[in-house]
A = this chain, B = another copy of it.
Amino acid sequence: MKSGQVTIKDIAKELNISCSTVSRALKDFPGISPTTRKSVVELAKKYNYRPNAIALSLRNQKTNVIGVVIPETVHFFFSTVISGIEDAAMKEGYNVMICQSNEKYEREADSIDALMGARVDGLLVSISRETADLAHLKKVVDEGTPMVFFDRLVEGMNASSVIVDDYQGAYDAVEHLIKQGCKHIVHLSGPDNLIIARKRKEGYLSALEDYQIPFTEEYIVECRNGSEIEAEKAMSDLLKSSIKIDGVFANNDLAGLGAISAVKKAGKSIPKDIAIVGFSNWQFSSLINPGLSSISQPGYEMGCEAAKLILEEINAKEKGKSQIKILDTELIVRDSSKRLH
């Protein structure tokens, strides 16, 4: 027996019939004699025949693969999004090919080229922190490959997106802090080129305004890479300064953790002296001490929705209008912000 996987040709040869007939027998094509069908199916099973997806893709001009470009799969939020994408895609007979940008523009562009070279039927992307120039994305859309953005919105492109209501989530977080009695709320923000970061900042500012809390620029500190270390350092510096602080709204949970460490090290009590809320409701935010209050984002659902949108576009005869789907967040209150009334 030859090595490697069996092909239609192998089966045809052994049965002394044509490839056409084998192909038809394998797919319940009408008008095939029951005898030949039976022998073909049996031989296929015996040799463990699997249709060659590569050949099918070439023939059908369709790979049934959707490409995903994502900053980092090690982030719990993103890994839940991926699960959602995979489940929804698999249900429709699609495979998923994932590339991580590691938050680098160049790797993002390379990943997109690789995926386009692999002729994916559609692309799901969440841009990197570094990405400012959108030419690599525009090229894809111009070439007619469907593309949907998730989580990190992109402006000025004719493409659908599924995002979370970052503005409202941030507003809810800050309103909650205010209701706990905070009047001097720091915002550890994300990089300004990410729309999600700008939206969260807007939510923060709106809440302050609505509750007539005075604000100065010093209360916003940008954390570029979103790491715990960076946030801890930023927060420590703030605590050493003369600014008054009794609350922190962190743009993500890792930054929230950094804030917790910094406040603990400074010998202040959480939430009594300083109440803290994060964003994203990281998997184990409940397990740290104190439990970190957070804005929960529906990652799995986001993945499903993004997959559904891209599949819709792939199957549409012509390009429809781009949609934007906004998912709700939910405030989860834990000990880091729960003051007694």
Q: Residues of A at under 8 Å CB distance from B?
A: 3-5, 48, 50-55, 57-58, 61, 63, 73-74, 76, 79-80, 82-83, 86, 95-98, 100, 113-114, 116-119, 139, 143-145, 257, 283-284, 287-289
Query: Copies per complex?
Result: 2
* B52 touching A117, Cβ below 8 Å: yes
Q: How long is the Cα–Cα vector from A51 to B116 in the complex, in angstroms? A: 9
> What are 29 pairs between A and B in contact, CB < 8 Å?
A3-B143, A3-B144, A4-B61, A5-B116, A5-B143, A48-B139, A50-B116, A50-B117, A51-B117, A52-B117, A53-B119, A54-B54, A54-B63, A54-B118, A73-B73, A73-B79, A73-B83, A74-B76, A74-B79, A74-B283, A95-B97, A96-B98, A97-B97, A98-B98, A284-B284, A284-B287, A288-B288, A288-B289, A289-B289
Which residues of B have CB within 8 Å of A257? 284, 287
Q: How long is the Cα–Cα vector from A218 to B74 in the complex, in angstroms? A: 37
A2 to chain B, nearest CB (A): 9
Q: How long is the Cα–Cα vector from A143 to B97 in the complex, in angstroms? A: 24
Question: Which of the residues B51, B58, B117 comes within 8 Å of A58, measured between beta carbons?
Answer: B58
Most buried by B among A54, A97, A116, A288: A54
Most buried by B among A51, A74, A100, A283: A74
A101 to chain B, nearest CB (A): 11
Q: How long is the Cα–Cα vector from A289 to B264 in the complex, in angstroms? A: 13
* B52 touching A119, Cβ below 8 Å: yes
Q: How long is the Cα–Cα vector from A4 to B97 in the complex, in angstroms? A: 20
Which residues of B have CB within 8 Å of A50? 113, 116-117
